[in-house]
Structure 1
Amino acid sequence: MARSCIVCGKGIVVGIKLSHSHIRTKRTWAPNLQRVKAVIDGSPKKVLVCTRCLRSGKVQRAI
């Protein structure tokens, strides 16, 4: 399973960190993913969902 949101597809982004002395090094930004039990196609499954999709109500949580 890739580290990305199942709803919006948000995943890891790569870029360059730039220090004060202008040394460029690679770094990554990871989304805030939560493993939740959600209703997918009528049955509950454990999926990775970003907190923005959880907060906006795009995912119906299973209890």
Structure 2
Amino acid sequence: MSKVCEVCGKHPVAGRSISHSHRVSNRMFRPNIQKVTIRDAKGHVRRANVCTSCMKAGKVERA
């Protein structure tokens, strides 16, 4: 499944985890992507990969 939101374009970002003893390891910040049924701008019903923050903000019209 795609890791990119089709509404806002949010995608995974690399970063670093730093422990209490300041040991550093690489990590990924991944968006919470869900496959939902939406109604697009043309009025067609289709499935799309959308992040949960877009769903909560009401940026997509659920079908």
Q: Smaller-chain TM-score range?
A: 0.7 to 0.9
Look up the match of 1:3. Answer: 3
Count how many residue pairs are aligned between Structure 1 and Structure 2. Answer: 62
Look up the match of 2:15. Answer: 15
Offset of residue 48 of structure 1 = 0.9
Offset of residue 5 of structure 1 = 0.9
Runs ≥4 residues deviating over 6 A: none
Which structure 1 segments of 5+ residues have no match?
none
Q: Is the 8 A contact 2:2 2:49 kept in 1?
A: no
Taking structure 2 as the reference length, what is the TM-score of the superposition? 0.83
Which structure 2 segments of 5+ residues have no match?
none
- Rounded to whole Å, the distance in 1 between the matches of 2:17 and 2:38 is 36
Taking structure 1 as the reference length, what is the TM-score of the superposition? 0.83
Q: CA RMSD in A?
A: 1.4
